[in-house]
Amino acid sequence: MPFIATNPATGKVIAEYPAFNAVEVESALAEAQSGYETWSAMSFAERATLMTRAAELLESELPAVAELMTSEMGKTFAAAKGEAAKCAMSMRYYAEHAEEMLTEQIVKTSGSRSGIRYEPIGVIFAVMPWNFPLWQVVRMAAPTIMAGNAVAFKHAPNVPGCALYMHDLFIRAGFPRGVLRNMFVEVEQVADIIADDRIVAVSLTGSERAGRSIAAVAGQNLKKVLLELGGSDPFIVASSVDMERTIPLAVTARVQNNGQACIASKRYIVVQDRAEEFIEKFTAAMAAVPVGDPMSPETVVGPLVNKSQLDILTRQVNESVAKGAKVLTGGAPVGGEGYYFPPTVLVDTAKDSPANCEELFGPVAVIHVVKDLDEAIELANDIPWGLGGSIWATDDAEIEKAINGIDAGMVFANAVVVSMPELPFGGTKQSGFGRELTAFGMREFTNQKSYFVA
Ligand code: NAP
């Protein structure tokens, strides 16, 4: 199967690239290995110069790259520009901070000198999803590359232009070829790539299904794997919530990226004394969200990524309704050209319905009403995932209780959960393991070498 980009707003094919054959796979791996050998011998200062140059180039090309992202996966042009700018900002951040994050740690022992050094390990193979087609690559690769590694990556097949853009950006910035190496390969080719001696570790951002498969292959080959998988993040509305401030952010938390974010809030858990007000205002705000052409500045929600995603979301809503859920707004595809699903609010969902057992990857919010904050936290944790979660309250005691109580990799208070270069990113339970970003993320793909001099 070739890599095909289809514009989700029109359903029209815009670009097509054949998958790599065996010779092309070999040449990509050889290039990545050779890139690693040159790159790992360079100083932090030299690496930082090139990473900063890549950031500058990206910044100078924001509108064009944003249009490419919008055309390939349907996010709004405004969101695409924001994503590309965040990539450039984070590349600069790691250019500036990598050296200090990987500074040798001196440890006091009985020896005359001892400590820990962080050394690069080689070429990491990264498998990427389409939903943040630039940021997912940068989030994984910028820290990993600044640590002295090379990254060979398989992007999702529907964003080939974005994959090539990132590959070319690093070459144009002056990086040795292969330090960030695109590979147009299919799922069937992945096991052999992971088994190749030149690949030292694997990173996947994607679904649980892909996570199980890639972790199994990595395990078979005794290679480290880092998994960033799905989630169904809770958005807890506590008694002390500032309702006026919270409502617009509650909408953003669900509809950002057309509802297709791993860390989007998917389950709204509201204490009963604020439930009526929240449900009424949130439903009205969701119903008022402008849906349409992702290139238009008025649009907040564009199309879903493809027909298959539209069908999955439609099935999930229909089955939930068949099990008793009530639709307060939205509830069915918009129809016509493109893969549009409107912002939707569900209440009274059965525990065993898709609304509660599956990840809803589209702008569909599920509201639960609970007695108090304890019950809210219990329900928040009653899922197989633990990616992020948020608490909306003005009372510090309520905020602390939620930060301590939510079993997730990231808990935010009075703010939409986002990734940022200054905080580690990752989940608990079936949301995966390992961390990206910060010193924690950088060290995942280093040899944490202890030394001891008697
Ligand atoms: P996906 O189907 O798992 O695809 C992600 C990537 O994995 C694609 O490149 C895909 O290639 C590849 N892949 C799938 N199955 C594979 C296998 N068996 N072996 C090797 N590679 C495989 O996920 P998606 O639908 O694109 O993305 C949505 C999911 O990703 C959601 O669950 C979302 O929550 C999660 N996600 C998590 C994070 C995070 O940071 N935690 C961020 C974004 C998204 P093909 O398309 O060619 O199969």
Domains, in order of start, for the chain? 3-229+431-453 (3.40.605.10), 233-413 (3.40.309.10)
Nearest to 155 by CA among 174, 134, 176: 134
Cα(432) to centroid(ligand 1), Å: 12
Tell me if residue 87 is catalytic: no
pLDDT at 209: 96
Q: What is the pLDDT along the chain (454 residues), one digit of tens a residue?
A: 779 999 999 999 999 999 999 999 999 999 999 999 999 999 999 999 999 999 999 999 999 999 999 999 999 999 999 999 999 999 999 999 999 999 999 999 999 999 999 999 999 999 999 999 999 999 999 999 999 999 999 999 999 999 999 999 999 999 999 999 999 999 999 999 999 999 999 999 999 999 999 999 999 999 999 999 999 999 999 999 999 999 999 999 999 999 999 999 999 999 999 999 999 999 999 999 999 999 999 999 999 999 999 999 999 999 999 999 999 999 999 999 999 999 999 999 999 999 999 999 999 999 999 999 999 999 999 999 999 999 999 999 999 999 999 999 999 999 999 999 999 999 999 999 999 999 999 999 999 999 999 9
Indicate which residue of 72, 262, 398, 444 is catalytic.
262
pLDDT at 2: 78
pLDDT at 353: 97
Tens digits of residue pLDDT in 354-367 = 999 999 999 999 99
Integer Cα distance of 237 and 245 in angstroms: 12
Residue 314's DSSP bridge partners are none
Q: Provide the residue type at 84 as one letter.
A: A
Tens digits of residue pLDDT in 153-206 = 999 999 999 999 999 999 999 999 999 999 999 999 999 999 999 999 999 999
Q: At what angle do helices 22-40 and 187-195 cross, to 10 degrees?
A: 50
Indicate which residue of 228, 398, 436, 444 is catalytic.
228
Nearest CA residue ID for atom 17, ligand 1 = 210
Integer Cα distance of 399 and 405 in angstroms: 10
Of 127, 128, 132, the one to substitute when testing ligand 1's pocket (max ligand atoms within 8 A of C-beta) is 127
Cα(178) to centroid(ligand 1), Å: 23
pLDDT at 408: 98
Q: CA Rg, the chain, in Å?
A: 22
Residue with tokens 């030299």, as numbered in its chain: 46
Residue 413, number of CB atoms within 10 A of its CB: 17
Ligand 1 neighbour 157 (Cβ under 6 A): yes
pLDDT at 188: 97
Residue with tokens 């190749």, as numbered in its chain: 196
Of 140, 185, 187, the one to substitute when testing ligand 1's pocket (max ligand atoms within 8 A of C-beta) is 187
Please tell me whether the overall predicted TM-score, pTM, comes out greater than 0.95 for this model. yes
Sign of CA dihedral 414, 418, 421, 425: positive
Tell me if residue 208 is catalytic: no
pLDDT at 249: 98
DSSP, collapsed to helix, strand or coil, labels residue 227 as: strand
Cα(128) to centroid(ligand 1), Å: 6
DSSP, collapsed to helix, strand or coil, labels residue 49 as: helix
Which residues have C-beta within 8 Å of that of residue 222, sequence separation ≥ 6?
none
Ligand 1 neighbour 4 (Cβ under 6 A): no
| Continuous H helices in 365-448 | 373-380, 396-405, 438-444
Integer Cα distance of 96 and 104 in angstroms: 17
Integer Cα distance of 337 and 9 in angstroms: 7
Cα(225) to centroid(ligand 1), Å: 15
Cα(210) to centroid(ligand 1), Å: 6
Integer Cα distance of 257 and 420 in angstroms: 16
